[in-house]
Amino acid sequence: MKKVLIAILALLVACTAVFATETEPVVRYDEDPNYALNFAFQPTLARYNAMGQSGLALQTRLDSFFSNPASLSKRGFALSLPNVSVTVYNLEKMVNDPEAVDIFNRLIKGQTEDSDMATLATKFLENLGAGRSLVAKVDAGVAMKLGILGFGTNVQVKFHGLNYGTSIASQKVIPEVNAAQTVAFGLKLIDTKNLSLAAGVSVHGVYKAYYKGIAAETIAPLINGGDVKNLALWETPVMGGYAIPFDVGVNLGLLDDVITIAATASNLNGKYYMKSYSGFGDLVNSFSEGAMQPPIGRLKKESESFTIDTPWSLNFGFAFAPYVPVLNPVITADLVDMFEYIKSIGSKDSRFSDLLLHLNAGAEFGLFDVLTVRGGINRGYLSVGAGLNLPFMQVDAAYGWQEFGNQIGDKPVDSLTIKFSLGYDKK
C-alpha cells in the first residue's frame, strides 16, 4: 500500500515540477504522420474550390494571383474591399440528420430553445469522426490588383478537428488564426499574339497562432453562455509565430492565351518560427506589453521557441478559355503535389493511374460574365458552385467533397463555401 501511495505522490510531484518550471510547454500537431495538421497558409478561394480546386492557369479574377502570381502579368485593375468567406464542413451529415434540420428550421423562425445551439454544436463535433478534420473556416481580407502588382491582406480563422480516438470524448478542436500580407508581381517575358511567357512571384508575411486542442465536451456548454472570452484569452495555451513563404509561377500562353499552361511552386520557405504562450492574451502582450489585462493573480509563464515546417508543393496547370460570347466557357486541369510523384517515376511502385490522384479539373460557364456556374473534380471527388459577378459586388459559392485521410477513400469530407466581395473584379 505504501508503494501505491508513494507512486501517487510521485505523480503529483512530477506534475508540480513541470508547473514549477514556469515555461509554457510546446504543443505540436505537425509531427505524427497519421494525424499531422497542415499549417500552410492558403486563403479560401470559392471559385477555385468549385472548380475541383483547379485553376492555376486561369488568369482572370482578382484572387488568381494567390494561387499563381504569374497571372498578374495580364495587367488590369481589380479591387476587393473587403471580401469575406465562410466555409462549413461536414454539412452532409447535418442535412441527413432530421433533428439538426429541425433545429435549423427553428433557428430561422426564431423559435430556438436554450439547448438548440449546444445540441447543434455537439452534432457538428460528433460528425468530425476520427483523425483530422476541419469544422469551419472564416476568411476576411482586402486585395488589389494594380497593373502587374498584387496586394492582399488576409485574416483567416480555422477550426481544426483532431481525434486520436473515435468518439467525441477524444475529439479536440484546435482554433488557428492566420494574418497574412501578400505582395506579388508578374511580368510577361515574351508577348506575341500566338505565344506568351510570363513569370511571377508572391511573398506572404504570415503570422500564425494556434491553440492547444480544446476538448469537444468543453465547447458545447460554452455555446449557452460559458466564459468564452476567458477561455480564448487566458485559459488555453497558444503557439504563435511567423513565416515568410513565397510562391513562384510561370505561365505559357498559346493562341492569344486561349490556352495557358502553368507551373507553380507554392509555399517555398514555409518554416514557421513559433513560440509557446500561456494564452492568446500573453501573445498579444508580447507585441505590446500591457495591451491586455490578465486576470488578477495569473502567473505568466516563459515562452519556448520551436519551428514548424510546412510542405511546399509543385503543381502544373492547364486552362482552355476560348472566346465564346455569352457563355464564356473555361476548362481547367491541374496536377497538384507532383514532386513526389515525379521522383517516383521509373520506380517499380510508380503507376500511371496514380496520376489521377493528383488531377483536379473543372469547368466554368459565365453567362454574360455575370452569372457563373462551375463544376469540378478534385482527386475524384465532385464539387459544384455558382457566382454572381455584379459591377461592384461578387458572390461565389462552392460545395464539394475532398479527402482528409492519408489515402483516397479514408475520410471524404464535404464543405460549403460562401464568399462575398465588395469591389470591382472583371476580366
What x-and-dash track marks residues 151-170 binding another protein by CB under 8 A? -------------xxxxxxx
Q: What share of the chain is helix, strand, coil (3-state, %, to 5)?
A: 25, 45, 30
- The region of 11-19, 174-182, 265-273, 307-315 touching another protein under the rule CB under 8 A is 11-19
Query: At closest approach, how far in Å is the CB of 347 from another protein?
Result: 19
Query: At closest approach, how far in Å is the CB of 397 from another protein?
Result: 5
Nearer to another protein, 51 or 250 (CB): 51
| Strand partners of residue 366 | 372
Compute φ and ψ for 256, nearest 5 degrees: 60, 40
Are 65 and 184 in contact, with CB atoms under 8 Å apart? yes
Q: Cα(106)–Cα(7) distance, rounded to whole angstroms? A: 54
Nearer to another protein, 110 or 297 (CB): 297
- The region of 5-13, 79-87, 134-142, 323-331 touching another protein under the rule CB under 8 A is 5-13
Q: Which three cell numbers stand for residue 354?
A: 496514380
For residue 310, give the nearest of 268, 342, 341, 279 by alpha carbon.
268
Nearer to another protein, 257 or 364 (CB): 364
Judged by CB under 8 A, the residue of 137, 158, 160, 172 near another protein is 172
Binders of another protein among 197-226, rule CB under 8 A?
215, 217-218, 220-221, 224
410 lies in the binding site for another protein (CB under 8 A): yes
Per DSSP, the three-state class of 29 is: coil
Half-sphere exposure of 287 (CA within 13 A, CB side): 10
Question: 420: part of which helix (H) or strand (E)?
Answer: strand 412-424
Judged by CB under 8 A, the residue of 125, 135, 321, 398 near another protein is 398
Q: Cα(37)–Cα(30) distance, rounded to whole angstroms? A: 6
Are 50 and 400 in contact, with CB atoms under 8 Å apart? yes
Query: At closest approach, how far in Å is the CB of 406 from another protein?
Result: 5
- The region of 62-70, 78-86, 122-130, 331-339 touching another protein under the rule CB under 8 A is 122-130
Half-sphere exposure of 240 (CA within 13 A, CB side): 20
Judged by CB under 8 A, the residue of 143, 334, 386, 419 near another protein is 386
Nearer to another protein, 10 or 190 (CB): 10
Judged by CB under 8 A, the residue of 72, 130, 209, 263 near another protein is 130
> Look-up: residue for cell 464542413?
89
Count, residues near another protein per rule CB under 8 A: 87
What x-and-dash track marks residues 71-110 binding another protein by CB under 8 A? --------------------xx--xx-x--xx-xx--x--
Nearer to another protein, 112 or 181 (CB): 112
Are 57 and 317 in contact, with CB atoms under 8 Å apart? yes
Binders of another protein among 285-304, rule CB under 8 A?
297, 299
CA distances 159 to 136, 331, 368, Å, are 5, 32, 37
Contacting residues for 306 by C-beta, under 8 A, at least 6 apart: 26, 28, 239, 274, 275, 276
Half-sphere exposure of 45 (CA within 13 A, CB side): 22
Nearer to another protein, 231 or 248 (CB): 231
CA distances 202 to 1, 199, 276, 317, Å, are 66, 10, 29, 17
327 lies in the binding site for another protein (CB under 8 A): no
CA distances 271 to 34, 209, 283, 284, 391, Å, are 20, 14, 19, 21, 40
Nearer to another protein, 101 or 157 (CB): 101
- The region of 27-35, 174-182, 194-202, 339-347 touching another protein under the rule CB under 8 A is 27-35
Query: At closest approach, how far in Å is the CB of 228 from another protein?
Result: 14
Binders of another protein among 337-376, rule CB under 8 A?
356-357, 373, 375
305 lies in the binding site for another protein (CB under 8 A): no
